[in-house]
Amino acid sequence: MKITTIFLAIFFSLPVLTKAEMKLSASVDKETVAINDTIRLTITIQSSNSVKDPVIPAMKDFNIYSSGQSQNISFINGKFSYSLNFSYVLTPKTLGKAQIPSITVFEGNKQRFTSPIDIEVIKPNANTSANSPAPSTTASAGSLSSIGEKGGSKAAKTRQTINETGASAPKTDKLIFLTAEVNKKSAYVNEQINLSLKFYTALPLINNPQYSPPKLEGFISEDLPPIGNGQVAIDGRLYYYNEIKTALFPMDEGVGIINPAIINAQIQSSRPSADPFDSNFFQHFFSGIRQGENKQVESPRLKVKLLPLPEKGKPDSFNGAVGNYKISAMFEKTEVKAGETINLLLTISGEGNLKTITMPALPEMPNFKIYDTVTSLSMNKTNDIIGGKKVFTNIMMPRISGEYEIKPIKFSFFNPKTKIYNEIETKPLKIKVAKNGAIPPAIDYYQNSTGEYSQIKTISSDIHYILENKRTPSSVKLSRKLASALWLNFAFLLILLASVLFAYINGLRTKNPDMLKSKKAYKKSLKEMSLAANLAREEKYPNAVLLLHNSLNAYLSAKLRNNIGSLTIRKVITEIKQKNPNIESKFTEELKTFSDELEMLRFAPTSINKEKIDTLILKYKEILKFFEKEFKQ
- pLDDT, tens digit, for every residue of 237-251? 999 888 999 999 999
| pLDDT tens, position by position, 71-96 | 665 555 555 566 778 888 888 878 88
Least confident of 263-277, 335-349, 618-632: 263-277
List, in order, residues 6 or more apart from 286 with CB less than 8 Å away.
Answer: 94, 95, 96
If asked whether residues 424 and 332 sit together in one domain, one would say yes
Q: Are 204 and 118 part of one and the same domain?
A: no
Task: Please report which helix (H) or strand (E) contains residue 620, including its range.
Answer: helix 610-632
Q: What is the DSSP code (8-state) at residue 139?
A: P
Higher-confidence position of 568 and 417: 417
Please indicate, yes or no, whether residues 273 and 357 belong to a single structural domain of this protein. no
347 and 295 inside one domain: no
Phi, psi for residue 100 in degrees, rounded to 5: -90, 115
Q: Could you list the residue range(s) of the whole structural domain that residue 286 is in?
A: 133-307
Q: Examine the domain organization and report whether 295 and 341 are in the same domain.
A: no
Secondary structure letter of residue 273 according to DSSP: P
Q: Examine residue 606 and state whether it is found in any structural domain, yes or no.
A: yes
| pLDDT band of 61, cuts 50, 70, 90 | confident
Domain assignment of residue 61, yes or no? yes
- State which of 87, 122, 157 marks the end of a domain: 122
Does residue 217 contact residue 132 with C-beta atoms inside 8 Å?
A: no
CB of 433 within 8 A of CB of 338? yes
On whether both 539 and 610 belong to a single domain, the answer is yes
Q: Give residue-wise pLDDT tens across range 357-395.
A: 999 999 999 889 888 788 888 888 888 999 999 999 999
User: Cα(422)–Cα(327) distance, rounded to whole angstroms?
Assistant: 12
Which has more confidence, 569 or 445? 569
Please report, for residues 305, 480, 546, the alpha-carbon distance to residue 589 in angstroms, rounded to integers and kept in the order given: 41, 49, 21
- For residue 479, tell me if it sits in a domain: no
The pLDDT assigned to 80 comes to 56
150 shares a domain with 30: no
Contact predicate 75/37, CB 8 Å: no
**Residues 592-619 pLDDT 10s:** 888 878 877 776 666 678 888 888 888 8
What is the rounded distance in angstroms from the CA atom of residue 319 to the CA atom of residue 316?
A: 8
Residue 110 in domain:
yes
Lowest mean pLDDT among 148-157, 246-255, 434-443, 462-471: 148-157
Measure the CA–CA gap between 31 and 463, rounded to whole angstroms: 62
Cα–Cα distance list, 440 to 179, 459, 465 (Å)? 67, 6, 15
* Same domain assignment for residues 520 and 619: yes
Between CA 562 and CA 631 the distance in angstroms is 14
Q: Are residues 229 and 331 in the same domain?
A: no
CA distance linking residue 284 with residue 288, whole number of Å: 9
In this structure, the answer to whether residues 411 and 390 fall within a common structural domain is yes
> 204-218, pLDDT tens digit by residue?
777 667 888 899 999
Q: Kindly state whether residue 591 falls inside one of the protein's structural domains.
A: yes
- 3-state SS string over 369-433? EEEEEEEEEEEECHHHCCEEEEEEEEEEEECCCEEEEECCCEEEEEECCCCEEEEEECCCEEEEE
Q: Does any domain span residue 628?
A: yes
Structure confidence at residue 491 as a pLDDT band (50, 70, 90): low
First-last CA distance in the chain: 69
Q: Among 66, 94, 122, identify where a domain stops.
A: 122
Instruction: Let me know if residue 504 belongs to a domain.
Output: no
Contact, 230 vs 391, CB < 8 A?
no
In a domain, 328, yes or no: yes
Same domain membership, residue 353 and residue 252: no
Q: Model's pTM, two decimal places?
A: 0.51
pLDDT score recorded for residue 34: 86
What does the pLDDT look like over 461-471, one tens digit per residue? Answer: 444 444 445 56
Number of compact structural domains in the chain = 4
Q: What is the mean pLDDT of the chain?
A: 75
Last residue within a domain, chosen from 75, 92, 122: 122
Distance CA 185, CA 163 (A): 13
Q: Does 302 share its domain with 343?
A: no
